[in-house]
Amino acid sequence: MSQLIFEDGSEYTGTSFGFDGSVSGEVVFNTAMTGYPESLTDPSYKGQILVLTYPLIGNYGVPDTVVENNMLQFFESERIHISGLIISEYSFENSHWNAKKSLDEWLKEQKIPAIFGLDTRALTKKLREKGVMLGKIISGNQSVEIEDPNQYNLVAEVSTTDVKTYGHGKHIIVLVDCGVKNNIIRRLLMRDTTVIRVPWNYDYSTISFDGLFISNGPGDPKKCMETILFLKNALEEEKPIFGICLGNQLLALASGADTYKLKYGHRSHNQPVLQVGTKRCFITSQNHGFATDSSTINQNWDTFFVNVNDGTNEGIIHKTKPFFSTQFHPEASSGPTDTDFLFDKFIALVEQSKKKDLP
């Protein structure tokens, strides 16, 4: 048996599976019905104990580790990033054409403790009412203190430490890795690009490139001061910029706007967003706990999208320069692909910029 203990002292007991160990973290919930391999390997979950509301988890196992374009094909990074997992019901038997192992085996390999047998929807109601809370999983006689992962620069823990290059396309894209999901790179490669992936604190002003991409990632964006500084310099130029999730917040901070922590964040596949100035609504995949304060955006920028559920910022766009970002994930994986066209928009801006640069 294992326990989930919140910072307010409340305790919940369930059955242990996965790795036998104790961890602490920020307890968050995700309401998606599918995609646990993608979610668990999303670096944006670094430092978090994930509660999945969908009642049955593990039924399609874990995919095989196939490498494509120097990335794992069926995962969003090379490892699991959550600190712990909480589910309602665990499927001990799995069935899928691509299943290589069980979820339990995978969690043990990656040393991630998990609990099943808890009422995850009741836990979600608690987190919605009180807000995201710190907590810990206690397994066996092991003890651990509750710590707030947002006090640390989590981006520095998940970002690449080396410059890596993918593809051989005609458009050179510098991707600032703040915890990038593999599918972002895949979507860029599909559009005739060469992607140069650089660390979060890398000075890319010394590189010749056609477009700049700022990735998703975990934690408080204000911890990434070096990223913000380099991005401020990039905003003085004319090279197209596209940011996703944390990239949206970093672009906002670099432009002079502010960010804040949401009560319980957006983590699901069914978040509706409205493109400002239109009647176009899209269903999006999201995973974030911080947001841009739209009221602090300066006169050179507009709000690009808003969340239909709570009115929070879902993107910004520059009025005259080729810069824009989204809080949601147009690359999905997992989730709906309604907004994949935004990658086409970015590449179109890159092509226009290159034409202007021709003698």
Separation between Cα atoms, residue 340 and residue 115, nearest integer Å: 35
Q: Are 176 and 198 in contact (CB under 8 A)?
A: yes
Max CA separation in the chain (angstroms): 70
DSSP 334: S
Reference 215, options 203, 227, 232, 230; nearest CA is 227
Residue 327 tokens, joined: 């809080």
Burial code (b: 16+ CB inside 10 Å, e: under 16) for 49-87 equals: bbbbbbeebbbbbbbeeeeeeebbebbbbeebbbbbbbb
Give the active site residues. Answer: 245, 329, 331
What lies within 8 Å, CB to CB, of 214 at 6+ separation is 176, 178, 227, 231, 241, 242, 243, 244, 246, 247, 250, 251, 325
Label residue 276 exposed, middle or buried (CB < 10 Å: 0-12, 13-18, 19+): middle
Tell me how far apart the alpha carbons of residues 46 and 39 are, in angstroms, rounded to a whole number.
11
Q: State the Cα–Cα distance between residues 100 and 94, nearest whole angstrom.
A: 10
Contact 282, 250 (CB under 8 A): no
Nearest to 76 by CA among 38, 47, 36, 33: 38
The answer to whether 89 and 54 have CB atoms below 8 angstroms apart is: no
Which residues, listed in sequence order, are joined to residue 284 by a DSSP beta bridge?
271
